[in-house]
């Protein structure tokens, strides 16, 4: 088989990217041909790009300058700044109208006019993501050059729905996989019904996500569920009992997450402030980066916390994960929305006691009180209480860590079983397309 994988981007750090990379490599090692189309641009030092290239997986992407202009937010802000300077005479004219009609101070009128023009530039001209026609051209070129048997789209909300439309118009079998659990409280899935049922097959990362795809997104066909793969660290030489012991009462609490609204990190910070009142030596670290970094640092400061010590940045090489887990006594995930987070499954594989929220597919992996502790989302008091319970009870930490590891061992997360599952789905899609 020739499988073309399509991703929206390859961020420096992310569960979707990690899984897409692992699956592509796993399928290739089974003797199939795999290529990756990225609807953006990825720097050469990106850990996922490096891993794919090392295994000779062909990767195509938009040219750097074009991708930055079309979709990179810092670039868009610089462009809007240049446009605003060019339109300064218009700003002055609008400020004059505002000054005469509203009788406000001139400086205030000038600022108001500038903000108005900048807002229109961002909302209507510079801000919108305009990659679609260029990605379609890229896909058309790659289709003619590489001739895939099927397309596997790794989607997150509605960003790549247009690729379903493209594949459908070219009569190419297509799998669309949604990596989040659709939720009606967010409008990210409002356009799904226009495209989703053109896919040959829809795949969800958990049973909860599958149900939501039907009820929220209007999927009217069976939805296959295929879990993430997580390589076994023990097979790579990890020993569960080699974690350094806590010293002087120091307990280390780790979170691995993008700094994004769905991760519930403001609630985690509020929980940290509560825990610090009772256990001031407890060390918290969040590994990840994202658009909320500055906002979270301000929130931490307002709570009397040192945000820079907590938000230590993303790790850009997967080889760092064993060291991070070796320095982890408790793993916490405070999400308000999830698919089935790879970071949680990795914590299970490393035998770490877990405190998490029962959103998306997390309750399919964690049973409260059995192999982890669960708190309702947006409840920092509960998070703090259960983290404190683990800090104060090393025996409970050990028991839950062992149970988490056993759940991983029994689960369908090994690369071999996950690859076999997807190869079966690919065969089903190709069989459906030839009927």
Residue 152 belongs to what H/E stretch? strand 150-155
Q: Does 288 share its domain with 223?
A: no
- Is 368 contained in some domain? yes
Mean pLDDT (whole number) for 229-236: 91
Do both 273 and 384 map to the same domain?
yes
Distance CA 352, CA 362 (A): 15
User: Looking at the domain assignment, is residue 234 inside a domain?
Assistant: no
**Percent of the chain surpassing pLDDT 70:** 96
Is the pLDDT assigned to residue 366 strictly greater than 50?
A: yes
Q: Are residues 275 and 302 in the same domain?
A: yes
- 354/215 same-domain check: no
Tell me the C-alpha to C-alpha distance, in Å, between residue 426 and each of 108, 201, 230, 419, 434.
61, 9, 20, 10, 13
Last residue of a domain, one of 126, 143, 164: 126
Q: What is the pTM of this model?
A: 0.87
pLDDT digits (tens, 9 = 90+) for 306-317: 999 999 998 888
Position 117 scores a pLDDT of 79
Which of 106, 126, 146 is the endpoint of a domain?
Answer: 126
Same domain, 85 and 47: no
Same domain for 138 and 28? yes
User: Does 235 reside within a domain?
Assistant: no
Q: Is the dihedral of CA 228, 231, 234, 240 positive or negative?
A: negative
115 and 153 co-located in one domain: no
Residues 349, 293 share a domain: yes
Residue 191 lies in a domain: yes
Q: What is the pLDDT of residues 73-99, one digit of tens each?
A: 677 777 777 877 888 888 888 888 877
DSSP string, 367-427: -BTTTBEE--TT-HHHHHHHHHHHHH-HHHHHHHHHHHHHHHHHSS-SHHHHHHHHHHHHH
- Domain hosting residue 247, numbered range: 240-410
Cα 9 to Cα 14, 36, 258, 288, 382, distances in angstroms: 10, 11, 14, 16, 35
Model confidence pLDDT, tens digit, residues 161-214: 999 999 999 999 999 999 999 998 888 888 888 899 999 999 999 999 999 999
Rounded to an integer, the average pLDDT of 339-368 is 96
> What is residue 321's predicted lDDT score, i.e. its pLDDT?
92
297 lies in a domain?
Answer: yes
**Per the structure, how many domains does the chain have?**
3
Task: Report how far residue 365's alpha carbon sits from residue 412's, in angstroms, rounded to the nearest whole number.
Answer: 10
User: Based on the domain organization, do 199 and 142 belong to the same domain?
Assistant: yes
Tell which of 108, 126, 144 closes a domain: 126
CB 196 within 8 A of CB 202: yes
- Amino acid 108: pLDDT: 81
Q: 3-class DSSP state for residue 32?
A: coil
State whether 321 and 358 are in the same domain. Answer: yes
- Based on the fold, state whether residues 297 and 405 are members of the same structural domain: yes
The reported pLDDT for the residue numbered 169 is: 95
Q: For residue 147, give the 3-state DSSP assignment.
A: coil
pLDDT for position 246: 54
Q: Are 71 and 163 in contact (CB under 8 A)?
A: no
Confidence grade of residue 244 (pLDDT, cut at 50, 70, 90): very low
pLDDT-derived band at 126 (thresholds 50, 70, 90) equals low
In the structure, what pLDDT confidence band is assigned to residue 242 with cuts at 50, 70 and 90?
A: very low
- Does any domain span residue 108? yes
Residue 28 lies inside a defined structural domain of this protein: yes
CATH of the domain at 320: 3.40.50.2000
Average pLDDT, the chain: 90
Please give the pLDDT value at position 241. 64
Tokens matching residue 167: 């594949």
| Whether residue 33 is found in the same domain as residue 112 | no
**186 in a structural domain:** yes
């Amino acid at each position: 088989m020739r499988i073309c994988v399509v991703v929206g981007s390859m961020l420096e750090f992310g569960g979707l990217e990690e899984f897409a990379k692992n699956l592509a490599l796993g399928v290739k090692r089974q003797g199939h041909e795999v290529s990756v189309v990225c609807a953006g641009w990825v720097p050469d030092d990106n850990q996922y790009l490096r891993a794919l290239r090392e295994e000779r997986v062909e990767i195509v992407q938009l040219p750097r300058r074009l991708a930055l202009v079309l979709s990179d937010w810092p670039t868009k802000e610089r462009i809007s700044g240049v446009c605003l300077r060019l339109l300064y005479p218009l700003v002055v004219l609008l400020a004059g109208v505002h000054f005469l009609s509203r009788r406000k101070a001139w400086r205030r009128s000038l600022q108001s006019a500038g903000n108005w023009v900048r807002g229109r530039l961002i909302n209507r001209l510079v801000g919108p993501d305009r990659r679609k026609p260029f990605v379609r051209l890229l896909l058309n070129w790659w289709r003619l050059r590489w001739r895939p048997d099927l397309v596997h789209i790794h989607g997150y909300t509605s960003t790549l729905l247009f690729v379903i439309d493209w594949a459908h118009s070219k009569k190419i079998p297509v799998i669309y996989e949604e990596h989040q659990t659709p939720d009606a409280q967010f409008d990210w899935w409002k356009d799904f019904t226009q495209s989703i049922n053109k896919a040959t097959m829809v795949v969800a990362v958990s049973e909860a996500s599958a149900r939501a795809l039907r009820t929220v997104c209007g999927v009217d066909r069976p939805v296959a569920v295929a879990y993430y793969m997580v390589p076994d660290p023990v097979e790579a030489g990890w020993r569960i009992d080699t974690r350094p012991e806590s010293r002087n009462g120091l307990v280390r609490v780790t979170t691995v997450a993008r700094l994004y609204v769905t991760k519930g990190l403001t609630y985690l910070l509020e929980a940290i402030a509560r825990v610090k009142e009772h256990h001031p030596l407890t060390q918290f670290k969040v590994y990840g980066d994202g658009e909320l970094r500055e906002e979270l640092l301000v929130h931490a400061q307002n709570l009397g916390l040192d945000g820079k010590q907590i938000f230590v940045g993303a790790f850009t090489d997967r080889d760092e994960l064993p060291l991070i887990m070796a320095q982890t006594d408790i793993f916490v995930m405070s999400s308000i929305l999830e698919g089935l987070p790879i970071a949680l499954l990795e914590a299970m594989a490393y035998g770490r006691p877990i405190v998490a929220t029962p959103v998306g597919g997390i309750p399919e992996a964690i049973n409260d009180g059995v192999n982890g502790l669960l708190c309702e989302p947006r409840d920092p008091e509960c998070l703090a209480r259960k983290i404190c319970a683990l800090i104060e009870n090393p025996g409970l930490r050990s028991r839950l860590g062992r149970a988490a590891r056993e759940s991983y061992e029994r689960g369908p997360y090994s690369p071999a079983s996950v690859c076999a599952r997807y190869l079966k789905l690919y065969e089903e899609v190709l069989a459906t397309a030839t009927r």
